[in-house]
Amino acid sequence: MDCGLLQAMAEEDEEINVHNEETFGTDLDAQGTTEDPSSGLLQFVEPLPPPPPPAPPTPPLPDPKPPSRHSSPSPPRQKPQCLPRTPLRQRGRGRGYRGGLDRGQMFEDPAVMRIVEGRPNLKVMKMVYLLSKKLQLRGLASRQLVLILVCFAFKTLDSAIMHSPIITGSPIFSRQPLTPRQLYNQVYYSTRNQTYSDTVKQKYLHNVFLFVLNQPGRFMFPSSRPCPSTPQSLTPKMMQLRFGANSPRPSPFYSPSSNPVQHFRYPGPVTQLHPQHKRLLSQKQGAFQRKFDGWDPYCNLMTTKEREWITRLQMIQLQSENPYLEDYYYQEYYRRIEAKMAEEELGIRGKREPPKLTTPYITKTDSYAPVVHIEGSLGQVAVSTCYSPRRAIGAVHATVISTLQEQKDMRQQRLEVLSKIEKLFIALLEVEETARMKTPVLSEAEERRLGEKTQWKVENIYSQLQDHNPADSGGEFLPFLLVSKGKRLLARLLPFLKQDSALKILRIVTSNLPTLMSRDAEEALPVLYPALRNVIGGLSFSQLIKVLKDLITSEPLSTYESLTVTCQNKFGLSLLYALLSQGEKLLSSGVRLEPSIGDFETWTDTIFQVAGQLSQCSLVEPLILPSNLLTLFCRYLDKRTVHQLKSNIESATGFVALPS
Amino acid sequence: MNYVPGTASLIDDIDKKHLVLLRDGRTLIGYLRSIDQFANLVFHQTVERIHVGKKFGDIPRGIFIVRGENVVLLGEIDVDKPCDTVLQQVSIEEILEEQRLQQQAKQETEKVKMQVLKDRGLSIPKADNLDEY
């Protein structure tokens, strides 16, 4: 027997052990013990060999600590007849167990020894050794696997086994991944006393090798547990350094970095996945099952480590400083999902119904209507009867424009307004962007500069809106307010404005409220409500009184009429409620009000007028019903009126306004 | 399981049968075994399929490693779906012969065209290495 060869093999073994440690860490306990009933195997094999072993033993695992296993002198050892003992460096026997294959141990093992008969074929032995080495490298080698390999390498094959699935490589094994024990059983039972050629043995080896390799779940050791002492991840910077000149070799065992903290299911710290996204992914992870159809003997050549490495790389490339800019749709999508889920969790707030598509409702009248005209449409609905054929589209303007020139002018103005709105919107978007991107990294000076720039932009937008064409279209801001996109623009601009500018806008809205309400075909006014609500919240008492006066005494209509109209418009009513609520808040808060002359009288007058209006006419549902309204009314009015008011309000909203 | 959702990744395509079209016009069919960050591909049990007219022939090639920059497109083949019956498979020799004839015919027409253009004083440069530019 070639001692020198065995020596060399032993040395190689040590190198392998070292490599395994580096790659997989020194964590042994998890796998090595639970799936490793080799101690049971030992007992199983012991009393043998000629009589067949008893029924597959339930391995009473004697305390499965690796060192103890080796040291326990359980089996009576048979001295190997022809193989000399190799002097092994017992360096870290426990650790070495991870790899599993110690040369000397293999040949000390009585199971193996019993199997060795006669002079072992060196060639086959070498092959077995190489195979086991390969298995080790892939973290697969365990004691009994080696035993299995040795078994069939040295032993002879039963004729039955010639047709066994292992040789033919057919997918019988795929039905159920075999444990090492089961495989061993199969092989052991079949290894009786017949001789076969080396080629057959090699083929057998080859097939089992393949089979074993493709049982990643069962046979492989898990990736190492994260070592608490190592840092959690490589920073992106570090990862970048690994490419180019410092790039790791692309061999499969080195390219996944030897950082033991590699075991993550989805790309972990190096990623910028939206948190909602991460949640969804982890949910999916639980439900994910690998399909096990059609066995592919070459599958999973690319290990999980390698896959994760590539995925990590790709995630790094996806990182960006400005996700909202570079990946807008992804961010927006997940923001919306989150918002929806948050809403669902809070319960359905208010009676918010899903937005319905409003189609014009045409009532069929008994009388014959030759022309059906829908409000706001240019043409006529095609109604044909036996009495009159369909009429051609007649574009009839609601208002008669005297000359063609005037028409053109109007169109021109409208176009101007629209294009101006577009330009200002872009400026507003920039302002919002900078406001949203408030990174804490900026220094004091930079932050100030940024704030100034933003403020300048805001004022620019404001002044452009103001000075559009004061002569022509009825005042500042009004032409923009008449367009629905202009309303949206102003609503988004309001949070950025200073209080007095915002107040100006509020006053314009309230003084022109009837006009706005009547010309609001698309019902876009409510978009202004939240912003205006905030402005109202910052009003002083005298300012509030002024605004209320504007609202009530808007020019073309009398007080009564304007109030009626207001009450029948959602936005108008909500605005009114908000103003009253603010007044009540100011009065009841006890703060010094500093009213101007006549303020209180105006206030009480307003209350009475409004109360009278509210109790009589039919109300619509406001956007928000402030809670202190009834308190307000209680203070000034008698009980009966209050009660009437309350029922009127409640019938409109369906809410209980307040317990009285 | 797409680990990089929201983007395209070849991880999910591993171990599945694919058809890849290369920049030089070859069509390869094989099992995609491994990829890397440059989309270099490792194909297993590869077959080069040559199409001429309604006939095609398969040349078994074994293991292929394709450099990522040479891939035009790549698509998964559904092994369960029934094969297209319009095309007729022929032997390798036959398809190679057909291909040779096809190339010859093309060259002839090209030559004639160039001659005709030359007679009229026009010259169109050959678009051979277009994708270098």
Domain of residue B58 covers 5-118
Residues 6+ apart with CB under 8 A from A367: none
Give the per-residue pLDDT at A60. 43
Answer positive or negative: Cα dihedral of B21, B24, B25, B28.
negative
Nearest CA among A295, A299, A386, A280 for reference residue A337: A280
Yes or no, beta carbons of B36 and A314 under 8 Å apart: no
Yes or no, beta carbons of B5 and A277 under 8 Å apart: yes
Yes or no, beta carbons of B36 and A310 under 8 Å apart: yes
Angstroms from B82 CA to nearest CA on chain A:
17
Threshold 0.80, pTM exceeds = no
Residues from chain B contacting residue A302 (CB–CB below 8 Å): 14, 33-35
Give the per-residue pLDDT at A46. 42
Give the ranges where A390-498 is alpha helix by DSSP (H): 404-436, 444-466, 478-482, 484-493
Yes or no, beta carbons of A301 and B4 under 8 Å apart: no
Residues from chain B contacting residue A315 (CB–CB below 8 Å): 4
Q: What is the 3-state secondary structure (H, E, C) of A202-227?
A: HHHHHHHHHHHHCCHHHHCCCCCCCC
Angstroms from A120 CA to nearest CA on chain B:
36
Q: Contact, A657 vs A649, CB < 8 A? A: yes
Residues from chain B contacting residue A299 (CB–CB below 8 Å): 15
Instruction: Say if B13 falls within a structural domain.
Output: yes
Give the per-residue pLDDT at B35. 94
Yes or no, beta carbons of B35 and A302 under 8 Å apart: yes
Identify the burial level of A273 via C-beta atoms within 10 angstroms of its C-beta, where 0-12 means exposed, 13-18 middle and 19 or more buried.
Answer: buried
Angstroms from A264 CA to nearest CA on chain B:
11
Instruction: Say if B56 falls within a structural domain.
Output: yes
Q: How far is residue B29 from each of residues A297, B42, B64, measured CA to CA in Å? A: 18, 11, 10
Instruction: Say if B48 falls within a structural domain.
Output: yes
Yes or no, beta carbons of B6 and A330 under 8 Å apart: yes
Q: Contact, A541 vs A584, CB < 8 A? A: no
Residue A641 parent element (H or E): helix A639-653
- For residue B3, pLDDT over 80 is answered with no
Mean pLDDT, contiguous 10-residue spans, chain A (660 residues): 65 71 55 43 42 44 43 44 44 43 52 50 62 57 54 48 45 48 55 54 56 48 41 46 45 41 41 66 58 72 90 82 83 89 76 60 60 72 60 53 77 88 90 78 77 85 75 69 88 88 88 85 85 88 86 74 81 87 83 73 84 78 79 80 80 60
DSSP A292: -
Yes or no, beta carbons of B5 and A250 under 8 Å apart: no
Residues from chain A contacting residue B37 (CB–CB below 8 Å): 310, 313-314
User: Which has more pLDDT, A296 or B68?
Assistant: B68
Give the per-residue pLDDT at A292. 52
Instruction: Say if B65 falls within a structural domain.
Output: yes
Residues from chain A contacting residue B1 (CB–CB below 8 Å): 284-285, 288
Residue B86 sits in a domain whose CATH number is: 2.30.30.100
3-class SS of residue A449: helix
Answer positive or negative: Cα dihedral of A103, A108, A110, A114.
positive
Instruction: Say if B123 falls within a structural domain.
Output: no
Parallel/antiparallel/unpaired status of strands B27-35 and B55-66:
unpaired
Yes or no, beta carbons of B11 and A330 under 8 Å apart: no
Of B3, B31, B34, the CB nearest to A267: B3
Chain B CA closest to residue A255: B36
Of A285, A296, A302, the CB nearest to B34: A302
Look up tokens 């919240």; give the residue. Answer: A537
Up-side HSE of residue A418: CA atoms within 13 Å toward CB?
7
Residues 6+ apart with CB under 8 A from A88: A10, A102, A103, A104, A105
Residues from chain A contacting residue B41 (CB–CB below 8 Å): none
Write out the DSSP string of A96-158: HHHH---HHHHHH-HHHHHH--SSPPHHHHHHHHHHHHHHHHTT---HHHHHHHHHHHHS---
Across the strands, what pairs with B52? B55
Chain A CA closest to residue B38: A310
What are φ and ψ of residue B56, in 5° steps?
Answer: -145, 155
Instruction: Say if B130 falls within a structural domain.
Output: no
Yes or no, beta carbons of A267 and B9 under 8 Å apart: no
Instruction: Say if B125 falls within a structural domain.
Output: no
3-class SS of residue A481: helix
Of B1, B4, B34, the CB nearest to A314: B4
> With pLDDT > 90 as the criterion, what percentage of chain B qualifies?
71
Yes or no, beta carbons of B4 and A318 under 8 Å apart: yes
Q: What is the 3-state secondary structure (H, E, C) of A601-613?
A: HHHHHHHHHHHHH
Rounded Cα distance between A150 and A156, Å, is 11
Angstroms from B84 CA to nearest CA on chain A:
22
Yes or no, beta carbons of A307 and B14 under 8 Å apart: yes
Answer positive or negative: Cα dihedral of A156, A162, A168, A174.
negative
List, as ranges, residues 29-68 from B with C-beta within 8 Å of A. 31, 33-37, 44
Residues 6+ apart with CB under 8 A from A113: A77, A78, A80, A107
Angstroms from B21 CA to nearest CA on chain A:
23
Taking an 8 Å Cβ-Cβ cutoff, which residues of chain A contact chain B? 250, 266-267, 277, 281, 284-285, 288, 296, 298-302, 306-308, 310-311, 313-315, 318, 327, 330
Give the per-residue pLDDT at B51. 93
Angstroms from A304 CA to nearest CA on chain B:
10
Residues 6+ apart with CB under 8 A from A402: none
Rounded Cα distance between A603 and A477, Å, is 28
Q: Contact, A506 vs A547, CB < 8 A? A: yes
Of B1, B31, B37, the CB nearest to A288: B1
Rounded Cα distance between A53 and A191, Å, is 13
Rounded Cα distance between A175 and A192, Å, is 26
Neighbour tally for A392: CB within 10 Å: 8
What's the pLDDT band for B50 if we cut at 50, 70, 90?
A: very high
B7 touches chain A (CB under 8 A): yes
Instruction: Say if B128 falls within a structural domain.
Output: no
Angstroms from B6 CA to nearest CA on chain A:
7
Residues from chain B contacting residue A326 (CB–CB below 8 Å): none
Give the per-residue pLDDT at A100. 43
Nearest CA among A122, A123, A145, A178 for reference residue A32: A145
Number of domains observed in the structure of chain B? 1
Compute the CA torsion angle A406, A410, A413, A415 (nearest 10 deg): -130
Give the per-residue pLDDT at A231. 43
Residues from chain A contacting residue B12 (CB–CB below 8 Å): none
What's the pLDDT band for B52 if we cut at 50, 70, 90?
A: very high
Residues 6+ apart with CB under 8 A from A449: none
Residues from chain A contacting residue B36 (CB–CB below 8 Å): 250, 310
Angstroms from A265 CA to nearest CA on chain B:
9
Tens digits of per-residue pLDDT, B89-117?
A: 999 999 999 999 999 999 999 999 999 99
ipTM confidence score: 0.81
Rounded Cα distance between A243 and A497, Å, is 50
Yes or no, beta carbons of B4 and A330 under 8 Å apart: no
Chain B CA closest to residue A304: B11
